[in-house]
Structure 1
């Protein structure tokens, strides 16, 4: 059984934990502090997931999803919010976005031409980072899963440089109830964040491909 770790016990993190438990994964989840701070939250919102510390999740999980506020994951002191050493060699799915309302006005995160997932990869050079699960709101993540092959199934875009990591991310997206659509390398994550057509938009696989085609044509 694959062990899926989630760093972040907010709305997105708990929804993904609940979907992953339903899909048959062993799920570990951590907030920003001791496990007892999130035990009740996890018990109510993601029953079956196991609350641990961030270090324990990073150490024990096979694949880790980052569902933290980006400003906590990428602070100016070089990643104090992420247990980097424990994530070496692992697939890391980046579900984070830059929100100035939450993260503050940050010159290091606010360049719209730079994928924040590229910044995450730079912070985790020994991990295989894939952008995924960031462009759908938590309500749509919670309410839209369907079995593979369902007509009109909602899709999740994936961007990554490592082919095997992208394939593993696609398998997780499918297992959680969405059609995976690979949109290119990690730098294509700029088309998935706030301000992009796909951000917050519930689309099927063809709709995502059409939106990416428009975005890349405009960029050229």
Structure 2
């Protein structure tokens, strides 16, 4: 199985790590404070988890989740992520991230900003549309009726397939919204945001969404 790395070990990072460990993956976690600060988290996750620096996690991961605040994206290491599938779990919160003109004017999305920082990586939007604590608990086996769906978006079809397979292994259907430019359809303050939906319901909500000015 591929190794899953988390750069950012807050609520999203640790809950994706827990879901991944539950599904049998090895996980590597990193944060801004160093591996020693993650000792308790790693102990709770068990023997399939280890802590590392951000650079080491980026090197180790076959899929790499970026779950740092948006304003910290430029601290994400570039070189070890070249050619890799990178999952963007971010949402824009101006009160946390500061005002970002490209997002305020809807000229870009969080995932496009991360893709700009990582031009040789394959960025896929995922995990931004679910409450963190639900990630390890809401998954169901493939084919289960009314299985929850999570959206993905990305510019590379192979990368999206890899993320869709990962989501499936955690218990979720994946709904492909298209390229990164369409990822706004499931970001904060949209009808589909953090709502439990099936794949068909999610497609309908995303298609019917109107883009609004960021508050």
Contact 2:90 2:128 in 1 (8 A): yes
Q: Which residue of 1 aligns with 2:64?
A: 64
Q: Which residue of 2 aligns with 1:123?
A: 117
Unaligned runs of 5+ in 2: none
Q: How far 1:109 moved relative to its partner?
A: 4.0
Q: Which residue of 1 aligns with 2:165?
A: 171
Specify the SS of the correspondent of 1:18. helix
Rounded to whole Å, the distance in 2 between the matches of 1:49 and 1:156 is 24
* Pairing 1:156–2:144 present: no
Rounded to whole Å, the distance in 2 between the matches of 1:98 and 1:42 is 28
Would you say how many aligned residue pairs link Structure 1 and Structure 2?
Answer: 210
Q: Which residue of 1 aligns with 2:33?
A: 33
Q: Which residue of 1 aligns with 2:189?
A: 195
Rounded to whole Å, the distance in 2 between the matches of 1:137 and 1:114 is 24
Contact 1:98 1:110 in 2 (8 A): no
Rounded to whole Å, the distance in 2 between the matches of 1:37 and 1:101 is 26
Q: How far 1:68 moved relative to its partner?
A: 1.0
Q: Which residue of 2 aligns with 1:54?
A: 54
Q: Which residue of 2 aligns with 1:206?
A: 200
Contact 1:18 1:49 in 2 (8 A): no
Q: Which residue of 2 aligns with 1:76?
A: none
Q: How far 1:142 moved relative to its partner?
A: 3.1
Specify the SS of the correspondent of 1:38. helix
Contact 1:14 1:42 in 2 (8 A): no
Match of 1:134 among 120, 128, 131: 128
Give the alignment's TM-score, normalised by structure 2: 0.92
Contact 1:71 1:103 in 2 (8 A): yes
Contact 1:153 1:179 in 2 (8 A): yes
Unaligned runs of 5+ in 1: 74-78
Contact 1:67 1:95 in 2 (8 A): yes
Q: How far 1:105 moved relative to its partner?
A: 2.8
Rounded to whole Å, the distance in 1 between the matches of 2:13 and 2:25 is 15
Query: What is the CA RMSD across the aligned residues, in angstroms?
Result: 1.4
- Deviation sequence 1:85-120 (CA, Å, 0-9, x none): 110000001111111232123334433452110111
- Deviation sequence 1:142-161 (CA, Å, 0-9, x none): 32111111111111101011
Match of 1:185 among 179, 201, 210: 179
Contact 2:102 2:108 in 1 (8 A): no
Specify the SS of the correspondent of 1:142. coil
Give the alignment's TM-score, normalised by structure 1: 0.90
